[in-house]
Amino acid sequence: MSDIVVRQSQAVATTNADTWRASTDAASMCKEIVIKRAIDLQGRKYVPVEGWQAIAIAHGCVASAENVRRVDGGVAADGVIRRMVDSHEIARAEGFVGEDETTWYGGKDKWGKIKPKRPDYAIRAMAQTRAISRACRSAFAHVIVLMDVGLETTPYEEMAPVYEDAAPTAATAARPVDHVTRYAAWCAKAAKPEHCIQMRQKFTADVAAAEKAGTPVSDEIQNRVFEMIEARQDELAAAFAPEQDEEHVPA
């Protein structure tokens, strides 16, 4: 009986009207979280992977990545959207991180700045993230349009490198720093809880400096960065806890 109820609540749209109704319902359900997670790049707001995943969930679907692989020129992964009710695949797309992206593979960018190579796991993770975002975009871009709040339909993960590589003109030099991406990378590299404490102190200083420069960091971004650092610190603290307990085991 309960299985029947679940399946009825996740009924698959069978007509154009059903599909449209499902999309408008999904837009209303996840609009708040999608807007909240959107990231501003030079005055345009882009939806990151967690926003696209919220849209998929609102449609009764799950987004995942598979088949991560090395290919000529970089790392690729497949993003897949499946209905929860029957695991039917409704969309598939490829995510790719290229060796020509100095943000990930390091080297001198076209403006002469030297960047370090990211760890292989981070490159593979970004390929999966882009794959999920792209698959969600191919299936649900119309939902962003239905929200009618000025959001771009291109996933954030695809556009962030474009803005990073933009010419350092007066217009781009004054744009806000992407603190979320910067501290996400640093959190991934953190190896001890103490590193997270240092990151929190640095971000606090960054916020103060931005305020002084007349480009304040929004409360939303501050909360996201602090939550990210705290989560990584808790993760590292849990990993180090067994070692600390062993050191204090009485003879």
Q: How far is CA 94 from CA 80, 97, 213, in A?
A: 9, 10, 40
In this predicted model, what pLDDT tens digit does every residue of 55-106 receive, in sequence order?
999 889 999 999 999 999 999 999 999 999 999 999 999 999 999 998 899 8
In 3D space, the residue among 63, 59, 53 whose CA is nearest the CA of residue 89 turns out to be 63
More confident residue, 97 or 188: 97
Q: What is the pLDDT of residue 19?
A: 72
In this predicted model, what pLDDT tens digit does every residue of 119-137 receive, in sequence order?
999 999 999 999 999 999 9
136-158 burial: b if 16+ Cβ within 10 Å, else e: bbebbbebbebbeeebeebbbbe
Ranked by mean pLDDT, the top range of 66-80, 195-209, 229-243 is 66-80
pLDDT at 3 over 50: no
pTM for this model (two decimals): 0.60
User: In the block, which residue shows the tokens 């005055």?
Assistant: 43
Q: What is the pLDDT of residue 242?
A: 59
pLDDT at 4 over 50: no
189-211 burial: b if 16+ Cβ within 10 Å, else e: ebeebebbeebbeebeebbeebe
Quote the tokens at residue 134: 């792209």
pLDDT at 168 over 90: no
Q: What is the pLDDT of residue 172?
A: 41
User: In the block, which residue shows the tokens 């400096």?
Assistant: 209
Q: How confident is the model at residue 18 (pLDDT cuts 50, 70, 90)?
A: confident
Q: What is the pLDDT of residue 209?
A: 82
Find residue 80's DSSP bridge partners: 64, 92
Pairing of strands 61-71, 44-46: unpaired
